[in-house]
Amino acid sequence: MEREQIIQAVCRSACFETEAACLARAGFEVARRPRLFKRLENDKVRLIFPTRVQQVEEGAAVGLVCLYELGEARTVYAHAVFAGPTSNASLRSLFVPETQAKPQPGVAGNKAILQFVAWKQAAWTKFLNDELDLGNAKASASWIENFWKALDRMYGGGNLLDGI
Count of domains for the chain: 1
Q: What average pLDDT does the chain have?
A: 91
Look at residue 159 and tell me if it is in a domain. no
Is 63:50 a contact under the CB 8 Å cutoff? yes
Residue 79, burial from CB neighbour count under 10 angstroms (0-12, 13-18, 19+):
middle
Per the structure, the complete domain to which residue 53 belongs is given by 3-154
Look at residue 110 and tell me if it is in a domain. yes
- pLDDT tens, 103-130? 888 889 889 988 998 999 999 999 999 9
Quote the Cα angle for 104-144-79, to 5°: 55
Q: Indicate the pTM of the whole model.
A: 0.91
- pLDDT tens, 119-160? 999 999 999 999 999 999 999 999 999 999 999 999 999 999
Q: How many helices (H) and strands (E) does the chain have?
A: 4, 4
